[in-house]
Structure 1
Amino acid sequence: MPYAANADLPPSVREHLPRHAQDIFREAFNHAFDAHRGEPRGEEAAFRIAWAAVKRSYAKQGEQWVRSDGAD
């Protein structure tokens, strides 16, 4: 299910990622969800793709997600 706003994201995303990272996750998830619509594991693929998108700009340090050096 696509997410209309960051407030709609699952708690595991919303409560742990900074706002900008949530934007990245939501946009990547929604795009991937549409691209994999109708596939048996499409939602699972969309979650993997969204987390990969976040990890291109953010890294987890301890319990916090912080922007990586050189991130856009």
Structure 2
Amino acid sequence: MPYRSNEDLPARVRHNLPPHARSIYREVFNHSFASHVGDLRQEEIARRAAWAAVKRSYLKLGGQWVPKRQNA
């Protein structure tokens, strides 16, 4: 199911990701979910796409998600 706000995200996402990463997760999840209507794995695909998007911009160090450094 799509998420209307970051507060609606699963607890695992809300409690572990920083605010910007939560927004990335929500936006990608919702887009992917809408793109895979009718697929039996719709939610799984959306969840995987959302985590992949977060991992493109954030890195987990220890127990914290931190932004990846951008090349200047």
The CA deviation string for residues 8-63 of structure 1, in whole angstroms up to 9 with x for no partner, is 00001000000000000000000000001110001000000000000010000000
Percent identical pairs in the alignment equals 58
One-letter amino acid of the structure 2 residue matched with residue 4 of structure 1:
R
Once the 2 structures are TM-superposed, how far is the Cα of residue 2 of structure 1 from its aligned partner? 0.2
Gaps of 5+ in 2: none
Structure 1 unaligned residues grouped into runs of 5+: none
Q: Counterpart amino acid of 1:53?
A: A
Give the superposed CA RMSD.
1.0
Scaled by the length of structure 2, the TM-score of the pair is 0.96
Superposed, 1:1-72 pairs within 5 Å as 1-70=1-70
CA distance in 2, matches of 1:6, 1:60: 20
